[in-house]
Amino acid sequence: MAALRAGLVGLGMMGRHHARVLASLPGVELVAVVDPGGDVHGAAAGREVLASTEELIAKGLDYCVVAAPTGLHETVGLALAEAGVHALVEKPLAADAGAARRLAAAFGERGLVGAVGHIERYNPSLQRARQLLEEGHLGAVFQIVTRRQGPFPGRIADVGVVKDLATHDIDLTAWVAQRPFVSVAAQAAYRSGREHEDLIAVTGRLEGGTVTSHLVNWLSPMKERVTIITGEKGALVCDTLTADLTFYANGTASSDWDEVRQFRGVTEGDVVRYAIAKPEPLRTEHEAFRDAVLGKPTDIVTLEQGVRIVEVAEAVLQSASNGGQVVTLG
């Protein structure tokens, strides 16, 4: 079988990583890339660097990865759809929900495969955590907490911390629980002199009653990427920087000391750190999209799911702009 012909739009921070993976992906040929600023980091590795999406389409593509700034996703994506080219679009799908819906409709009407690059779904610790939840390892899920904090990344200019980073947490929370958000409330801060928010604190509720909490900022001198899932049988802690997964079980030992028994809702039980394989999440994401283009069953973040993530992100921003009022999602 001939290799799939792939293109790439954007050679920024993420685009350079996409180029690296595409260049070594079995069954795929990276044909050319687009970046009006050229290939200043040598990521194209000798492949032709073009100035426009139209020039890239003319090369004859099966699919394309869109790693351009968020504000360009709609324009680039619609051009690819019109040309019949499947596309993997970096997150968030688009700058606003209207643009996201138009992209999803364009690909859907033409029967094309479209996906969004919410890479955390492919983190080994979260994939294993979801499997354990499906197996009933935690029982009922009471709460999902995420913390995503670190310094400001110079790559971002056109969106704030909600659409750049919190969209990861919106997606992974709904995905790992297999429940959509039904409401959110948020408080934001603007501390670094930029147009967009650089800190957000979100509380939410999923269908079925699970409570969620998300702390995201660009203001911390340390980098933290943690998800804690608490249920009736214990808690799972996912460190997505290291792909480590730890289970803290509720204790089963009883106490005859009445005061202790009344004070403590649960006791500490066994702690298990899982030994799991740790493939690179970006490569796993690319393998899944390649297989989807080939018509194989696989797990991708669909454009429809990407639309919902942008809708939730906009509800978060709406709440923050209204002093933290709860916003209900349809």
Average pLDDT, the chain: 94
| CATH code for position 316 | 3.30.360.10
Residues 6+ apart with CB under 8 A from 77: 66, 87, 89, 94, 103, 106, 107, 114
pLDDT at 195: 86
- Residue 162 or 153, more confident: 162
How confident is the model at residue 330, as a pLDDT?
85
pLDDT at residue 124 in the model: 98
Task: Report the pLDDT value the prediction gives residue 164, as an integer from 0 to 100.
Answer: 92
Check residue 251 and give its pLDDT: 84
Residues 207 and 330 sit within 8 Å (Cβ to Cβ): no
- Count CB atoms within 10 A of the CB of residue 187: 14
Whether the pLDDT of residue 200 is over 70: the answer is yes
Q: Please give the distance of CA 277 from its chain centroid, rounded to a whole number.
A: 20
Residues 147 and 200 in one domain: yes
Instruction: Compute the average pLDDT of residues 258-281.
Output: 81
Q: Tens of pLDDT along 297-319?
A: 999 999 999 999 999 999 999 99
Instruction: Indicate whether 148 and 255 sit together in one domain.
Output: yes
- Are residue 128 and residue 103 in the same domain, yes or no? no
pLDDT of residue 256: 65
Q: Please tell me whether residues 200 and 270 are part of one structural domain.
A: yes
Looking at residue 2, its pLDDT comes to: 85
So what's the pLDDT on residue 220? 94
Q: Given a cut of 90, is residue 44 above it in pLDDT?
A: yes
110 and 257 inside one domain: no
Q: What confidence tier does 156 reach under pLDDT thresholds 50, 70, 90?
A: low
| Axis-axis angle for helices 97-109, 303-321 (nearest 10) | 170
Q: What is the pLDDT of residues 46-98, one digit of tens each?
A: 999 999 999 999 999 999 999 999 999 999 999 999 999 999 999 999 999 99
Structure-model confidence comparison of residues 261 and 196, the more confident one: 196
Residue ranges of the alpha helices (H) in the chain? 13-24, 53-57, 73-82, 97-109, 124-134, 161, 167-177, 258-263, 281-293, 303-321
Percent of the chain predicted with pLDDT > 70 = 95
104 and 42 belong to one structural domain: yes
d(CA 135, CA 131): 6
Average pLDDT over residues 42-49: 93
* Residue 232 forms part of a structural domain: yes
- In sequence order, which ranges of 212-272 are alpha helices (DSSP H)? 258-263
Half-sphere exposure of 100 (CA within 13 A, CB side): 25
Quick one: 189 and 242 in the same domain?
Answer: yes
Cβ density class 61-97: b for 16+ within 10 Å, e for less: bbbbbbbbbbebbbebbbbbbebebbbbbbbbbbbbb
Whether the pLDDT of residue 177 is over 60: the answer is yes
Residues 61, 83, single domain; the answer is: yes
CA distance 5 to 15: 17
CATH of the domain at 116: 3.40.50.720
pLDDT at 264: 55
CB 107 within 8 A of CB 81: yes
Q: What is the number of helices (H) and of strands (E) in the chain?
A: 10, 15
Domain check: are 254 and 130 in the same one?
yes
Same domain, 167 and 20: no
- Characterize the bridge pairing of strands 199-206 and 114-117: unpaired
Question: % helix / strand / coil in the chain, to the nearest 5?
Answer: 35, 30, 40
* pTM tops 0.85, yes or no: yes
Q: How confident is the model at residue 215 (pLDDT cuts 50, 70, 90)?
A: very high
Examine the domain organization and report whether 90 and 153 are in the same domain. no
Residue 302: what pLDDT?
Answer: 98
pLDDT at 153: 77
Amino acid at 180: P
* pLDDT given for residue 79 in this prediction: 98
Residue numbers of the domain that contains 44: 4-120+283-300
Domain count along the chain: 2
Is residue 305 a part of any domain in this protein?
Answer: no
Asked whether the predicted pLDDT for residue 261 surpasses 90, the reply is no
